[in-house]
Amino acid sequence: MELNLNKCDCSLCEFKTIAFEDLNTNEMISLCGYKTEKNYKKGEVIVCKGDEITDFLYLKSGLVKLYKAGKDGKDQIISIAKPFDFVSLVSIFSDANYNFSISALEDSTVCSVDLPFIKNLISSNGKFALNIMSKMSRNFDKIIDGALNLQTKHLRGRIAHILLFFSNEIYKCGEFEIPLSRKEIAQLIDMTTENVIRILSEFRTDKLIEIHGKNTVILDDKKLQSIAEHG
């Protein structure tokens, strides 16, 4: 991890339009003073389970995973966060310590804002407080809906779902590099690694996708969508 000393002006950043549009000029100036940008390399741990929650974390660029280690030593991936997501909202106001870990799936930049400053803003600015509460609710809904949705799918449907997730929501492109290993895909969608490998191979045989090294190409998104919805 390294500090990014060439940080941008918060008033000119997406940071403002996504959650801080209700702050006045003086509050935005103060926010910049309490914000730090940190760069993380792929695979680097950003937060460990049990760490004290001292900052409000916002993903400026890159991709990260939120996960918990199971009793059997296997990680359970809770969620994938993309740019402009607030990666600490899940537990920031409910616990003094993180109950999950966060690590970078790609080189990532994380903005951290002093948590006491954010809490003071919530106390003094009602519109900002409502905005943050709304984002927290949507964040929880997204995680819960995603987990319930996957549980109703058969194995092929889960793989189709995750491929379309990366294609449509993360990279917005039909050709991309999946940042997860086969083992991590299995952890995310509650499958065995062997089944992930087998079904990806079936999708290649069925000419739904192509895989070239680490690159994946979607060949038939309509059929994948059908499998994701009904599989």
CA distances from 103 to 86, 94, 119 (A): 14, 21, 25
Residue 151 confidence class, pLDDT cut points 50, 70, 90: confident
Q: What is the pLDDT of residue 154?
A: 92
Instruction: Report which residue type is found at 220.
Output: D
Q: Is the per-residue pLDDT at 131 higher than 80?
A: yes
Q: What is the pLDDT of residue 214?
A: 84
Mean pLDDT of the residues in the chain: 87
Q: What is the pLDDT of residue 13?
A: 64
Q: Is the per-residue pLDDT at 161 higher than 90?
A: yes
Q: What is the pLDDT of residue 170?
A: 92
Q: Is the per-residue pLDDT at 226 higher than 90?
A: yes
| 141 vs 62, higher pLDDT | 62
Q: 165 and 216 in contact (C-beta within 8 Å)?
A: no
State pLDDT tens for residues 14-71: 666 667 888 888 888 888 888 899 999 999 999 999 999 999 898 999 999 999 887 7
Residue 11 confidence class, pLDDT cut points 50, 70, 90: low
The distance of Cα 223 from the centroid of its chain, to the nearest Å, equals 26
% the chain with pLDDT above 70: 89
CA distance linking residue 132 with residue 118, whole number of Å: 10
Most confident of 70-74, 121-125, 201-205: 201-205
Q: Is the per-residue pLDDT at 155 higher than 60?
A: yes
Helix extents (H) in the chain: 14-19, 25-33, 115-124, 126-151, 155-164, 182-189, 193-205, 221-230
Domains, in order of start, for the chain? 2-132 (2.60.120.10), 153-230 (1.10.10.10)
| 10 vs 127, higher pLDDT | 127
